[in-house]
Chains A and B, each alone.
Chain A
Amino acid sequence: MAVTFVGVRHHSPACARLVRDTIARLRPAYVLVEGPADFNGRLDELLLGHEPPIAIYSFYRDAARVHSSWSPFCGYSPEWTALNAGRAAGAELRFIDLPAWHPAFAARGNRYADAERRYADATERLCREFAVDNTDVLWDHLFEIDADDLPGRLDAYFDLVRGEAEPGPDDSERESYMAAWVRAARADAGDRPVVVVTGGFHKPALEALVRAGGTAWPEVPAPGEDATGGSFLVPYSFRRLDAFTGYQSGMPSPEYYQRLWEDGPDGAAAALTETVVTRLRQRRQVVSTADLIAARTLTEGLTRLRGHRSPARTDLLDGLVSALVGEDLDQRLPWTSRGPLAPGAHPAVAEMVAALSGNRVGRLHRDTPAPPLVHDAAAELERLGLAGGGRITLKLTAARGLERSRALHRLRVLGIPGVRRESGPETGADPVLDEVWHVDTSDPDGTRTAALIEAGAYGPTLGDAAAAVLDERTAGAGGDMGRLAEALFDAALCGCAGQSGRIAASLAAGVAGASDVGALGRALDVVLGLWRHDHVLGTARSPLFGTVIEECTERILWLAEGIRGGPGPADRARLGALAAARDALLHASGTLRVDRDAALGVARRVAAAPDAPPDLRGAAFGLGRALGDTADPARAVRGAAAPRVFGDWLAGLFALARQEVIDPGGTVLAVLDELVGALTEEDFLIALPALRQAFEYFPPRERETIAGRLLARRGQGGSARALLRAPRDPLVVAEARALEERVDRALHAAGLTGGRP
């Protein structure tokens, strides 16, 4: 009996319907589904009666690589439907694809992604032909709304895209493996039908491959000796399903397709319009009845214009956006551009996208075996002697103390109740080496186990799961340096900083978007310190921190060149940032990718920029000197000697290169002495506060050196230390001098003094 191939798009309700009807009609002996073959022994577990969305989470680790991926199932997934309908029809069920850990999936985080890069050209041409904006709209237009002769249309579509595409070696390997299963099932079924449900892209190749070849059941590949790996079921959510981007993404708007699957297009449109309006009204946006009528009319019009029998997803969205948005938009509509929604989107658009994305969360049947994380957490706590709970003091300098601390931090990062740190290092610069924890493992109401099961979706072990959560946190922090630094320090505490990879990528992206130069400087300072010296948490020379240093340095230099402004008080935060960048350039340039020449160029330009603030110009000059520039500092000091900017400029210079002043061979001190000595009384009073601030960059010992040298220069003896100790509060002295100056002027105006101006 023939094999019936159903080529599907993953997560397509129309395909799910076709699969369900085909299986009900044929009542096959075998239903073969694209999915991880190593899960075949546990299909009963998958069919226990969960509430989708759920996912098979697969992980793998060997000496060469670490990989984790999800195979998500919604209620309307063709694969899910195939399994359930097949079971109902009494068929044998098999997953027939390679396991998720197989190298063929090395680049995939989502097994059921569209991976449409392979046939982008063909779909682009189709989009042009049908005058639609992207493949999602094209798919809805061709298959989801008006499904006359769905199998024929699907065949034509996938034949076209397959005919154009270059299948990679990964595809070929997977297809020949799947074909072996199909041949074996066909031979075994005898004269009973076999139904094969795979991605439509593979269908033409499979049809060709099953014509000839062996009929033995294929082996399920097993991971190597030194590798660990496995798969388990986790609850999934529409939010995560919709969060895959780029080539990892599948069909968007899961809640819409759920409704489409349950209620059909008209029901879905009505229900979602209602949700959008309710959400908007909850946010106190005005949505009038007239707006709703307009939305309805426009949706209707678009539906007809585009030749649909009922409104498709974008007919609904386009109608709503026309009616509800009464001003210009800042960003393209996400359903047109296929990108994620950037912050600051119009509230109506944001609510529409959120409503169609949905917040459904799956639930596993209570007989489902617990994910490995639950066992791993218990074993770890037992091994580290933490299972008893109580108040625990840890020494981070001892190996075992550090290990215990990491386990507890991982639990904390995962949000597992019952672990609370009472004290310990707060930032990377905190010289605290002890931690005090309060641990409670009793779990009277089961919340702890529930939290562990939920966290199980992030990974099989505490370390993997914590790393995945930190990855999510960094990705969600955007350009907020505070949150990024917090996540980074948590990574150090959890011992996850040794892994580069995705956390580093998210951090780098966040830093590249940051705009607060002071915050960047503070973060760089801490990270650089840890990267250079930290052997307690083990982050010294960690690649993750290295990436952050590179990105921060580049970003600070970029931002520094953009700062404009006239004279103003020196900004210590930005001077600190430049100083941190200088340290990174001096101490990391051999090991990390930081470009000293480029930095020198920036320093020279900023130092010479007339519209940059004086403190920044001084700092840039100092940075240039620190990086080996040979410009004459004495000349530069003279150039900046206007009373209103002098002190600020010096503050910048001293923040970056105070060595210039105390250097015994230098000329800067002499020039300073000369310039300050030449100031009129009034100018001196103007320059005084900023000058005082500038000299605060010198520690007391260096101030004493300067004082000594000044005395020597003027040929006077006496104690330099005594010179530094003012008999009165300097503020009082300054006020007195200002008062004297005013009195002098008054006397002069009254003609009571002699030659003074």
Chain B
Amino acid sequence: MPLDTTEPQDTVDPQDVVDPQDTGDQQRPPAEVRFAAELERLRENDAGPRPPGWALSLTGARRFVVGDDALGVTRKFVGDTALIDRALVTLATSRGLMLVGEPGTAKSLLSELIAAAVSGASTLTIQGGAATTEDQIRYSWNYALLVSEGPSTRSLVPAPLLTGMAEGKVVRFEEITRCPLEVQDSLLSPLSDRVLAIPELTGPDAMVFARDGFNVIATANTRDRGVNEMSAALKRRFNFETVFPIADFATELDLVEQEAARLLERSGVGVAPRRDVLEVLVTTFRELRNATTEEGRAMDRLSAVMSTAEAVSVAHAVGVRGWFLRGEAGGAADIVECLAGTAAKDSPDDLTRLRRYLEQQAPRRDGEQWRALHAARHRLPG
């Protein structure tokens, strides 16, 4: 999950790809710009050996993601450290890295952070989708130049994969499983032979050999089509890392509280979210997500995504409702109203499951907010 602490921009290294002067009004600058100062400090204090083509050593890259209090590097990914270790070591070998998991588990953030740490740039990104073509992955042509001059390096328009190979950088491939299979397979030879052929060109330009530092981080969503349909050949070229929702209740609660407070402040809400309300909210999300209660009772799994990110947005909505409708922080009744939109957006069955949860599981809990949640169950629509 993002701990989106935006750094003051005046310390950005002028050599960075994006001019720091221009990032002021950007909604979300890339990680290497947001955390430029941290990356700079890490580079200065980085004594470890760097794998060829890397901007930082493995330890440096690890500290960038998991944080280092001594250097003032924030923790940016709340999750297993061992996962970061495995991911970085994988990237230093010749296999690609595949991050899989439920939506909202911060896979994309993790891939952005790792790319920023390893290559100093996270912008070589291919966004996978049903309409993604090989052109958008490898290269395409400037057709005006192509017609007037014929194929040449001048008329060639490199896409992220070609650029990454030529410059020795990490290429990010988001939502790879949403691409058609044959498009996915265009990664095969770049990943195994580390070379990309451009048959239209002749001479040495016809082959682009990957430079040190090139690798691919792909992300895939287990809810969409999953990774089962990927070709075995491509699967073999990746090491898989499953990113799980946050395991620890307290950590998730802290994160939701922190993020919700930030969003509420930005929305002009003058009061912080109540901790006991958030506890109920986060517990509800966790139980519905894991399909078991904290006491180990099995329940049905919701088809909707109950991620931490969704919890944050519900907490935000609860705060907004409470403040602008009644001038207070928002309570359990608001949770019920907002949950309906989150949990039941995909199917009416989810609404039934949610109602059953509120009817039968909520009254077993002690506490004022749980009682309020149970009492507000009639606010569910339908």
Known: A305-B58, A327-B227, A336-B80. A298 touches B93 (CB 8 A): yes
Check: A337 CB closer than 8 A to any chain B CB: yes
Q: Do residues B81 and A337 form an inter-chain contact, with CB atoms below 8 A?
A: no
Check: A698 CB closer than 8 A to any chain B CB: no
Interface-side segment among B183-191, B333-341, B348-356: B348-356
Q: What are 29 residue pairs bridging A and B, where the CB atoms are less than 8 Å apart in the complex?
A: A131-B62, A131-B66, A131-B67, A294-B239, A298-B239, A301-B58, A301-B89, A319-B86, A319-B89, A322-B86, A326-B235, A326-B236, A326-B240, A327-B235, A328-B100, A328-B240, A509-B296, A513-B298, A558-B299, A561-B360, A562-B353, A562-B356, A564-B349, A564-B352, A601-B359, A602-B359, A602-B360, A605-B359, A609-B352
Residue of A nearest to B100 (CB): A328
Residue of B nearest to A612 (CB): B352
Check: A332 CB closer than 8 A to any chain B CB: yes
Residue of A nearest to B239 (CB): A322
Q: Report the minimum CB–CB distance from B176 to chain A (whole Å).
A: 13
A/B pair count, beta carbons within 8 Å: 113
Check: A306 CB closer than 8 A to any chain B CB: yes
The CA-CA distance from A130 to B334 in the complex, in Å, is 41
Q: Scan A597-618; emit 1 where CB is below 8 A from any B CB, else 0.
A: 0100110010001010000000
The CA-CA distance from A514 to B75 in the complex, in Å, is 40
Taking A131-B67, A509-B296, A609-B352 as given, write out 6 further A-B residue pairs in contact, using a Cβ cutoff of 8 Å, ordered by the A residue number. A131-B63, A301-B58, A301-B93, A322-B240, A332-B247, A515-B298
Check: B82 CB closer than 8 A to any chain A CB: yes
Which residues B77-104 have CB closer than 8 A to chain A? 80-83, 85-86, 88-90, 92-93, 95, 100-101
Q: Do residues B298 and A298 form an inter-chain contact, with CB atoms below 8 A?
A: no
The residue among A314, A328, A562 with the most chain B CB atoms within 10 A of its own CB is A328
Which residues A131-180 have CB closer than 8 A to chain B? 131-133, 137
Q: Report the minimum CB–CB distance from B45 to chain A (whole Å).
A: 16
Check: A323 CB closer than 8 A to any chain B CB: yes
Check: A470 CB closer than 8 A to any chain B CB: no
Q: Do residues A322 and B241 form an inter-chain contact, with CB atoms below 8 A?
A: yes
Q: Scan A505-516; emit 1 where CB is below 8 A from any B CB, else 0.
A: 000010011110
The CA-CA distance from A333 to B236 in the complex, in Å, is 21
The CA-CA distance from A328 to B247 in the complex, in Å, is 17
Q: Do residues B356 and A332 form an inter-chain contact, with CB atoms below 8 A?
A: no
Q: Report the minimum CB–CB distance from A348 to chain B (whole Å).
A: 11
Q: Do residues A328 and B80 form an inter-chain contact, with CB atoms below 8 A?
A: no
Q: Do residues B85 and A137 form an inter-chain contact, with CB atoms below 8 A?
A: no
Across-interface contacts of B26 in A (CB, < 8 A):
none
> Which residues of A approach B to under 8 Å, CB–CB?
129, 131-133, 137, 294, 297-298, 301-302, 304-307, 314, 318-319, 321-323, 325-329, 332-333, 336-337, 479, 509, 512-515, 555, 557-558, 561-562, 564, 598, 601-602, 605, 609, 611
The CA-CA distance from A321 to B83 in the complex, in Å, is 11
Q: Do residues A337 and B247 form an inter-chain contact, with CB atoms below 8 A?
A: yes
Check: B59 CB closer than 8 A to any chain A CB: yes
The CA-CA distance from A514 to B296 in the complex, in Å, is 11
Q: Do residues B235 and A322 form an inter-chain contact, with CB atoms below 8 A?
A: no
Across-interface contacts of B100 in A (CB, < 8 A):
327-328
Check: B270 CB closer than 8 A to any chain A CB: no
Residue of B nearest to A513 (CB): B298
The residue among A131, A294, A332, A479 with the most chain B CB atoms within 10 A of its own CB is A131
The CA-CA distance from A328 to B239 in the complex, in Å, is 10
Across-interface contacts of A294 in B (CB, < 8 A):
93, 95, 239
Q: Report the minimum CB–CB distance from A250 to chain B (whole Å).
A: 21
Residue of A nearest to B70 (CB): A129
Across-interface contacts of B235 in A (CB, < 8 A):
326-327
Across-interface contacts of B89 in A (CB, < 8 A):
298, 301-302, 305, 319, 322
Across-interface contacts of B63 in A (CB, < 8 A):
131
Check: B297 CB closer than 8 A to any chain A CB: yes
Check: B244 CB closer than 8 A to any chain A CB: yes
Check: B202 CB closer than 8 A to any chain A CB: no
Number of residues on chain B facing chain A (CB within 8 A):
49
Q: Do residues B300 and A512 form an inter-chain contact, with CB atoms below 8 A?
A: no
Question: 3 closest Cβ contacts across the A-B interface?
Answer: A301-B89, A328-B100, A329-B242
Q: Do residues B360 and A557 form an inter-chain contact, with CB atoms below 8 A?
A: yes
Q: Report the minimum CB–CB distance from A310 to chain B (whole Å).
A: 16
Check: B226 CB closer than 8 A to any chain A CB: yes
Q: Report the minimum CB–CB distance from B315 to chain A (whole Å).
A: 24
Across-interface contacts of B239 in A (CB, < 8 A):
294, 298, 322-323
The CA-CA distance from A215 to B156 in the complex, in Å, is 90
Q: Do residues A314 and B93 form an inter-chain contact, with CB atoms below 8 A?
A: no
The CA-CA distance from A555 to B63 in the complex, in Å, is 47
Q: Do residues A561 and B359 form an inter-chain contact, with CB atoms below 8 A?
A: yes
Across-interface contacts of B58 in A (CB, < 8 A):
301, 304-305
Known: A131-B66, A327-B227, A602-B360. A298 touches B86 (CB 8 A): yes
Which residues B295-325 have CB closer than 8 A to chain A? 295-300
Residue of A nearest to B91 (CB): A301
Across-interface contacts of A332 in B (CB, < 8 A):
80, 244, 247
Known: A328-B101, A512-B295. A302 touches B240 (CB 8 A): no
Which residues B206-244 have CB closer than 8 A to chain A? 220, 222, 226-228, 235-236, 238-242, 244
Check: B180 CB closer than 8 A to any chain A CB: no
The CA-CA distance from A323 to B238 in the complex, in Å, is 9
Across-interface contacts of A132 in B (CB, < 8 A):
81-82
Q: Do residues A512 and B363 form an inter-chain contact, with CB atoms below 8 A?
A: no
Across-interface contacts of A129 in B (CB, < 8 A):
69
The CA-CA distance from A318 to B292 in the complex, in Å, is 28
The CA-CA distance from A564 to B300 in the complex, in Å, is 12
Question: Looking at the complex, which one of B86, B228, B353, B356 makes contact with A318 (CB distance below 8 Å)?
Answer: B86
Question: Looking at the complex, which one of A333, A337, A479 makes contact with B298 (CB distance below 8 Å)?
Answer: A479
Q: Do residues B80 and A512 form an inter-chain contact, with CB atoms below 8 A?
A: no
Across-interface contacts of B69 in A (CB, < 8 A):
129
The CA-CA distance from A512 to B296 in the complex, in Å, is 7
Residue of A nearest to B295 (CB): A512
The CA-CA distance from A362 to B169 in the complex, in Å, is 55
Q: Do residues A328 and B356 form an inter-chain contact, with CB atoms below 8 A?
A: no
The CA-CA distance from A336 to B67 in the complex, in Å, is 19
Q: Scan B285-301; emit 1 where CB is below 8 A from any A CB, else 0.
A: 00000001001111110
The CA-CA distance from A250 to B308 in the complex, in Å, is 32
Across-interface contacts of B236 in A (CB, < 8 A):
326
The CA-CA distance from A323 to B93 in the complex, in Å, is 11
Known: A305-B89, A325-B240, A327-B227. A558 touches B82 (CB 8 A): no
The CA-CA distance from A133 to B77 in the complex, in Å, is 13
Residue of B nearest to A597 (CB): B363
Q: Do residues B82 and A133 form an inter-chain contact, with CB atoms below 8 A?
A: yes
Residue of B nearest to A339 (CB): B247
Residue of A nearest to B298 (CB): A513
Q: Scan B233-266; emit 1 where CB is below 8 A from any A CB, else 0.
A: 0011011111010010000000000000000000
Question: Looking at the complex, which one of A297, A327, A598 makes contact with B93 (CB distance below 8 Å)?
Answer: A297
The CA-CA distance from A368 to B227 in the complex, in Å, is 57
Q: Report the minimum CB–CB distance from A608 to chain B (whole Å).
A: 12
Across-interface contacts of B220 in A (CB, < 8 A):
328
Q: Do residues A302 and B226 form an inter-chain contact, with CB atoms below 8 A?
A: no
Question: Looking at the complex, which one of A307, A327, A558 makes contact with B297 (CB distance below 8 Å)?
Answer: A558
Q: Do residues B82 and A137 form an inter-chain contact, with CB atoms below 8 A?
A: yes
Question: Looking at the complex, which one of B80, B298, B300, B360 makes contact with A133 (CB distance below 8 Å)?
Answer: B80
Known: A301-B92, A336-B80, A558-B360. A327 touches B247 (CB 8 A): no
Across-interface contacts of A314 in B (CB, < 8 A):
82
Across-interface contacts of B242 in A (CB, < 8 A):
328-329
